[in-house]
Amino acid sequence: MAAESAPWSAIRINERHVDAATRISGTQAVRSLPVGDYLRGGTNRLALLSWASLPSPAAIAALELRFDDGSIQRIPSGQAWRCCALTIAEARGGDWEAKLDDSTACVEYCAFGAEPWDDQRARLDHPMPPVVLRRTFELPSRPIASATVTATAIGVYDMEINGRRVGDDYLAPGWTNPQKAARVQTYDAANLLVPGTNVWSATVAKGWVGSPMLGCEPTREDEKSFRAELVVRYADGETLSLPTNAEGW
């Protein structure tokens, strides 16, 4: 089951507690939960609590059932669901489900999978694997005075030159909100280069992109990206710059 809700939420199936979330900095936090053990043959009842200090807390969810014969049944939230307004005290109480009377049809602001939240299930069930970027370049047999790599990413990255790790960082640039800032790292790469053919690669993964941590707004996984530049300075003063671009990568 995938759920995206207002800051505070809880889920119960057949009067059994499934999950609850505390404050998540007001973001649209996506969660996927296994609920097979809570279901039974015949009639089932799913209750989803969504509340916050907002005029109209909202939630979007889908229960997906996969059967042994390979068939799939999805039950998305929508106008067929019923709703009931609770006070804050009732919502925070442990018996909030008992106060639901199913008297009012839900107001559907958007269908599951439509704007503005899109199909969150696709992000959860089919996470994009890390992307490996790679290029080769040639260096002459000349004395090198210095060589540095400056890099950043939306997501996290690891770099190698000629099969050797660049720098000592793992999961650089670390946790950051890419909508507010991009942390940049600079590494010494002089001892990694060789005359002739060199291979420079970067592995880029989602990392904290789209995480609800500390107010980081959700971001689509396909928006992860990597940017870097290798600058080689020769002893005679000449400089070679190799940025990440469409040429050679």
The Cα–Cα gap between 164 and 198 comes to 11
12, pLDDT greater than 50: yes
Structure confidence at residue 37 (pLDDT): 87
Q: pLDDT-derived band of residue 230, with 50, 70 and 90 as boundaries?
A: very high
- Strand ranges inside 95-206, DSSP E: 104-105, 131-139, 144-154, 156-161, 164-165, 185-188, 196-205
19 and 78 part of one domain? yes
Q: Which of 90, 125, 160 is the last residue of a domain?
A: 125
Residue pLDDT, tens place only, 172-209: 998 777 777 788 999 999 999 999 999 999 999 887 77
pLDDT tens figures, 115-128: 655 555 545 444 56
Are residues 219 and 181 both part of a single domain? yes
Residue 249 counted as domain residue: no
Is 0.85 topped by the overall pTM? no
Which residues span the domain enclosing 80? 2-125
One domain for residues 90 and 141: no
Both 119 and 137 in one domain: the answer is no
Question: Residue 105: how many CB atoms within 10 A of its CB?
Answer: 12
- 120 inside domain: yes
Kindly state whether residues 137 and 161 are assigned to the same domain. yes
Question: Which tops the pLDDT comparison, 53 or 180?
Answer: 180
Q: Which of 30 and 76 is assigned the larger pLDDT? A: 76
Q: Which of 132, 105, 126 is nearest to 200 (CA)?
A: 132
Q: Are residues 110 and 143 located together in one domain of the fold?
A: no
Determine which of 3-7, 81-85, 146-150 has the lowest per-residue pLDDT on average. Answer: 3-7
Are 175 and 232 part of one and the same domain? yes
Distance separating alpha carbons of residues 47 and 63, to the nearest angstrom: 11
Give the range with max mean pLDDT: 107-111, 123-127, 224-228, 237-241.
237-241
- One domain for residues 10 and 99: yes
Say if 248 falls within a structural domain: no
Q: Is residue 155 classed exposed, middle or buried when 0-12, 13-18 and 19+ CB atoms within 10 A define those classes?
A: buried
- Is the confidence at residue 219, as pLDDT, over 80? no
Within a domain: 165: yes
Per-residue pLDDT at 55: 55
Does residue 13 lie within any of the structural domains?
yes
Q: Are both 104 and 148 inside the same structural domain?
A: no
Q: What is the DSSP letter of 37?
A: G
Within this chain, do residues 139 and 121 fall inside the same structural domain, yes or no? no
**Are residue 12 and residue 88 in the same domain, yes or no?**
yes
Last residue of one domain, picked from the residues 63, 90, 125: 125
Domain count for the chain, please give it. 2
Give me the CATH number covering residue 89: 2.60.120.260
Do residues 32 and 93 share a domain?
yes
What mean pLDDT is reported for the chain? 78
Of 73, 100, 125, which residue sits at a domain end? 125
